[in-house]
C-alpha cells in the first residue's frame, strides 16, 4: 500500500483557495508570545495525534534528501530551496536522526535512506505537497505556488514552502499520523468530523493567518525522539 500524506491548510484557505494569504510575510513572523511558547515548549500531555495513521520508527541511522529543481517556479532558486531543505533537515536532526541534503536530477535507487524531492503537479494531486513513503518521494506542486503568486504577488512564499517541506519531511522521520496540536508543523487544523486542533489559547488562533510553525516544534521533535529511540 502506498502511503501518501498531504499538506492541509487552514479551513478558511480550503473554503477559498489561498484566500488566507492576505497577510504579509512580516506579520506571519510577528509571533505572539503564546504561539512562540508553543513552538519552543512541549508541556506534559500536549503530544496528541489524529487517528489518520500510525507512527513508525525510521529503519535508518540517517536520511539523505536529494532535491531536483526541474520544474520549480522561477522565483524559487535552486539555492533557496536547497537552503530551506537544509534548514528543515537540521531541525529534524535534533530528534536523533542525522540528515544530509544535495541537488541532483536522478535518484540513487540503491540508497534506501534517500528521499527524492521534486516538483510534480500530477503526483501532488492538487495539494501543495505530498509524500509517498513507500517510494521515498516528496512532491511539491508548482501550480499551487504559481496560483499563490498570481493572487498575492507581493507575498514572499518562502515561508509557505519552508512549512510544506518541514511538514512532508517529518513523515519520513516516522511521524505518519498528523498532530492535533495546531502549532506543530505536522498538524492539520480540522478533521472531516469538524473537530478542531488543540491550542493553548483559542483566541490566538484567529490573530495569525497561518498558525502552524514553519519548522518542527518542540513537540514535533519530542514525538520523533520517542518513536526512534
Give the pLDDT confidence of 131-148 residue by residue, as tens digits: 999 999 999 999 999 999
Residue-wise DSSP of 152-191: -TTS-THHHHHHHHHHHHHHHTT--SPBSBTTSTTB-SB-
14 CB burial (10 A radius; 0-12, 13-18, 19+): middle
* Grid-cell match 478558511, residue found: 12
**Structural domain span for residue 166:** 4-227
Q: CB of 223 within 8 A of CB of 176?
A: no
The predicted model scores a pTM of 0.88
Residue-wise DSSP of 17-51: TTTTTTS-HHHHH---HHHHHHHH---TT---B-S
pLDDT(20) > 80: no
CATH code, domain carrying 117: 3.40.390.10
What's the confidence (pLDDT) of residue 17? 35
Res. 32 pLDDT band, cuts 50 70 90 = low
* Grid-cell match 513508525, residue found: 56
Residue of higher predicted confidence among 36 and 16:
36
* Grid-cell match 503537479, residue found: 121
- Which tens digit of pLDDT belongs to each residue from 46-57? 999 999 999 999
Q: In the numeric block, which cell numbers belong to residue 143?
A: 501550480
H/E element holding 104? none
Which residues does residue 117 pair with via DSSP β-bridges, in sequence order?
A: 67, 138
Total domains present in the chain: 1
Give the distance, in angstroms, between the CA of residue 207 and the centroid of all CA atoms in the same chain. Answer: 21
Closest to 156 in 3D by CA, of 57, 46, 76, 63: 76
H/E element holding 147? helix 142-151
Amino acid at each position: 500500500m502506498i502511503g501518501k500524506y498531504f499538506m492541509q491548510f487552514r479551513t478558511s484557505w480550503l473554503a477559498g483557495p489561498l484566500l488566507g494569504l492576505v497577510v504579509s510575510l512580516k506579520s506571519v513572523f510577528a509571533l505572539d508570545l503564546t504561539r512562540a511558547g508553543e513552538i519552543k515548549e512541549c508541556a506534559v500531555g500536549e503530544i496528541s495525534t489524529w487517528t489518520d495513521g500510525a507512527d513508525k520508527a525510521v529503519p535508518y541511522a540517517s536520511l539523505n534528501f536529494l532535491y531536483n529543481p526541474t520544474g520549480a517556479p522561477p522565483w524559487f532558486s535552486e539555492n533557496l530551496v536547497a537552503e530551506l531543505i537544509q534548514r528543515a533537515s537540521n531541525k529534524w536532526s535534533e530528534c536523533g536522526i542525522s540528515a544530509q541534503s544535495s541537488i541532483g536530477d536522478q535518484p540513487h535507487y540503491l540508497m534506501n535512506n534517500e528521499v527524492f524531492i521534486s516538483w510534480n503537479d500530477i503526483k501532488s494531486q492538487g495539494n501543495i505537497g505530498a509524500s509517498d513513503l513507500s517510494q521515498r518521494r516528496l512532491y511539491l506542486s508548482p501550480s499551487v505556488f504559481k496560483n499563490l503568486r498570481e493572487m498575492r504577488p507581493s507575498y514572499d512564499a518562502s515561508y509557505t514552502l519552508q512549512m510544506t517541506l518541514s511538514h512532508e519531511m517529518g513523515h519520513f522521520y516516522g511521524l505518519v499520523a498528523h498532530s492535533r496540536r495546531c502549532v506543530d508543523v505536522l498538524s492539520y487544523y480540522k478533521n472531516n468530523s469538524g473537530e478542531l486542533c488543540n491550542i493553548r489559547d483559542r483566541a490566538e488562533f484567529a490573530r495569525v493567518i497561518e498558525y502552524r510553525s514553519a519548522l518542527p516544534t518542540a513537540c514535533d521533535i519530542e514525538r520523533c525522539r520517542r518513536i526512534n529511540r
